[in-house]
Structure formats: structure tokens, C-alpha cells
Structure 1
């Protein structure tokens, strides 16, 4: 039996589960909102072209309008100024789009502190238990934040000081970008950086460090609680937008039962 036939049989039998990690795209899907005077991304919109009517008697279809960074999406290196000469989303390597994952569970810490930041020591402790981070793979941060995904206010968790969402400490972002073999970082929040990232030193360390190192980001992931710490395979399917800085993506995980 070929490898692909074996994989199909495993998926059909349930010995390999396909887990959807994607936030559905709709008008209510939470988006990143920047303070004035910065430009804003568009919310997801469906514009009906026809629906079995005079505009098209036998078919239903829509135009869509959305930003590249809406819902579950892939950040390309050229999304940030530090990676401005890097790859665009259409150039994402297949070895990055289909790759192994490591999942670090920060749920308990985030329940106690919404502004919790991943530290180098946390990753070192994870490696001591589970082995090294996967070469060319993804580091996914499970925080429990996806449970807020149907409530935009709870998902943003903002007050007069801005959003309060978990993320990665600046020195840890630098270390992940420069000294680990991972190809990218995935999170359950609206962006790879913490809500208070503008106040960190440097500001927006995940975007600056990871994209400056040619690495990738995934955001607004769901169902990370269905993944083991190691052993799953991520399948990321962005639109190949030529020159694009990112794209909404369907993200799946293959997990052995």
C-alpha cells in the first residue's frame, strides 16, 4: 500500500483525525482594529451577485470583500517592515504549509492573567518534557482564547489602555526567530503579538523578529485543545495572492487517534 493510500485509509477509519483549526469567515468575525490615524482592514463581506433569480436563474454566487489579515490567516514575512524584502504569501514554501507542530499549553496562566507572555524558560521546560521544537515546523500557543471567538468585545478584551490578550515576551520572540528551527508561530488571538505589544520593548516583537527572520505567523486558530503536544501535522491553505502580505486560510491538523 502506498503512503498516500495508507493515509486515506487511516483518515477514513478514524485512526487519523482531521481537526479544523479555522475560524469561520462572516461579518461578525473579529478583526484587528488599529488606533487612528492608521489604516484599517476591511471586515468580511458577502455581496450577492445572483440567487436563482433574474440576475442568474440557475445559480447562486457572491462577491467577497475582506482584508488579507481577517479571521484565521497567514502572515507572510513581507507583512512587516523588518521582512519587507522577504517572501510574499504566494511564495510560501510547501514545506512550511504542510509541517509538524509543537503545542504549548498556556491556558492556566492566561486564565490568571490575560496579558501573560510566553518566556524562553517556558519553551525550555516544554522541550525538557517533549523534546526539541520541530525543524521547519510550527509552534502553536494554546491559550483558551478561542472560546471568546463569538464575542468580539471579549475577544478584544480592551479597556482604556488597549487590548489585553496573551502573547510572547520580546526576548522569547527574538530567541524563537533567531535561535530555534521553527518556521512559524500560531496563536488563538487576533494577532501573533500580545494585546499590549505597542508598549513592549521593542514594540510588536513577534512581527518584528519572526518576519525579519523570514518566518511566518498564523492567527485566530481554534480547537488547539484537540491537538497533542507533539505529533500532529499542520496543513495551511492560504490564497496564493501574488505580492500579498497575507491571506485568510483554512488550517487543518492531522492527528493520530
Structure 2
């Protein structure tokens, strides 16, 4: 058989086989489709509203010790290299950030050791805005927790309970940190509240101020009791006013540097 004839024979055979297999596949596909249709989950879609609870921060953002919490230095210049990047010097407890148990205990859990499931949790908000308007060092107390439960139902185990005091609006002014006499002055949690929340198996507490404890605290009673118990805290939350007091889910983008006592976090709520 000539070379040309061989080629033509092979082509004809391949086309016939392809036609047969295509028809068989279509028939089998139709049969499978009718019995095994399983919709793919749209993991990237949500009907909820996402609220960013994180402050954007730079060297001017208020810090507990008054020193810049983040410094950015140019490491690679775009005009000379075609790309750019910065070297960041960051203090763990600045900006919107997480306090890990290790922050106030010698051998507590570090930020990289926090259980992932504790970083995605129900969010309950206790509003003390009216109280804070009268007293800059106002605190969430056990009676505030009980009042919330009476009005909204039980606080779920594993939840994050956040204090909403309206303080985030003061970030651009000295009043976020100090009173007119230049003393620390901002709301926080009281020990009676956090003891009650610990008994309810709450995973975390959050504040829209510089500290879990109020500015007037002399002993960091909440830090020294809440964190060593294996729980964590979030400080300098933003936009809590945009959320209902219950029903939102919190996503805490905690850093994961080994042995960290905490660090800046991107915190989002889905409602």
C-alpha cells in the first residue's frame, strides 16, 4: 500500500472512532447528568454585607506609649527597578490588633497557636455609648452583660463580645487617648463583665479603644485575668456602629508569626 493510502486509511479510521466515542460520551453524560447533578458551591459569593472593622494606620495612628507603631522605609524603588516594596518596622500592639494570651502570661498561647475556629465566630456587641459620653473611663460591667442577654438572648459559646463606645470616631484627635489633663482616658471592660463572659465560654473580647482595660486602670485587671485564661482580645476596632448588636459573623485575620504576643489584624464582619 502506498504511503498516501496508509495515511488516508488511518485518518478515516480515527474519524470513525472519534465519532463513535463522542456519541457514546454524550449519551453517558446525559444519563449521568440526569441522576448526578450536583451544583457547585459558590464559595466566593455571599448575600451578606461585609463591614471592615479595621483602621488603616500609619505612623500617626495613636499608640499606648505615644511612639509610632509602624514605620515604612522604601526598600526597592519602582523607577530604578520596575517594581517597588517597603521595609516595615511594626510593633505588635498597634493599630487594630489582637492580644494573644502570651501578651500577659509567661507561657501562654502565642498568636500563631490560636485555634483557627476561634478566629471565625459570632459577634455580640454591647453598646455603652451613652455611658461613655458621661464618663470617658466607662466600663462594660456584669450588669451590662446581663442586660444584653435579657434583651437579645444567650451569648453563644465561642463568640467575640465587643464593646461599642463610640470612641473610634475620636481617632483623629488627642481625645482618643488622653483627657484635657493629658491622662489616659478611654472606655474598656470591667473585671465583673469579663469574669461573666469567661463563665459563658466566650472566646474573645474586643474594644474600639486603645486597651481592653479602661484608660484609668492602674492594674490591667482585665488583661491579667482574661488573656492568661487562653482567650484573646482585639483592640482599636472600627465601624462597630455599622453593625447590629447580634447576628454578625466575625473574621479575624490574625498574624501568624511564631511566638508572637499579638499583632496588627484585618478584622471583618459579615452581616
Task: Tell me the TM-score normalised to structure 1 length.
Answer: 0.86
Secondary structure in structure 2 of the residue aligned to 1:162: coil
Q: How well do the aligned residues superpose, as a CA RMSD in angstroms?
A: 1.8
Query: Relative to structure 1, is the Cα distance of residues 161 and 59 closer, same or farther in structure 2, using a 3 angstrom cutoff?
Result: closer
Residue 132 of structure 1 is matched in structure 2 by 154
Q: Deviations over 1:230-254 (max 9, x none)?
A: 1100001122010010010000000
Question: Contact (CA 8 Å) 2:160, 2:205: kept in 1 or not?
Answer: yes
8 Å contact kept, 1:101–1:134: no
List gaps (5 residues or longer) in structure 1. Answer: 35-40
Query: Which residue of structure 1 lines up, in the alignment, with residue 79 of structure 2?
Result: 53
Aligned mate of 1:65, from 72, 75, 89 = 89
**Partner Cα distance (1:78, 1:106) in 2:** 28
SS in 1 for 2:252: strand
Task: Check conservation: 2:55, 2:237, Cα contact below 8 A.
Answer: yes
Where does 1:6-85 land on structure 2 (aligned, <5 Å)?
A: 8-10=44-46, 15-33=47-65, 43-54=69-80, 57-81=81-105, 84-85=106-107
Give 4+ residue runs of structure 1 displaced > 3 Å after superposition: 1-4, 158-161
Q: 1:204 to 1:3 in 2, by over 3 A?
A: farther
Does residue 216 of structure 2 align to residue 192 of structure 1?
A: no
**Residues 163 and 189 of structure 2 are in contact (CA less than 8 Å); yes or no, is this contact kept in structure 1?**
no
Q: Which has the higher strand share?
A: 1
2:202 aligned to which of 169, 177, 182: 182
Partner residue of 2:118 out of 93, 96, 106: 96
Q: State the shift of 1:197 in Å.
A: 1.0
Unaligned runs of 5+ in 2: 1-37
Aligned partners of 2:147 and 2:194: how far apart in 1? 16
Q: Distance in 2 between matches of 1:237 and 1:125?
A: 30
In the alignment, the residues of structure 1 paired with residue 137 and residue 68 of structure 2 have an alpha-carbon distance, to the nearest angstrom, of 26
Greater percentage in helix:
2
CA deviation profile, 1:161-200 (whole Å, cap 9, x unmatched): 72111112222233323x12110100000111100111xx
Does 2:168 match 1:146?
Answer: yes
| Superposition deviation, residue 134 in structure 1 | 1.8
Q: Distance in 1 between matches of 2:265 and 2:217?
A: 24
SS at match of 1:163: coil
Which TM-score applies when normalising by structure 2?
0.81
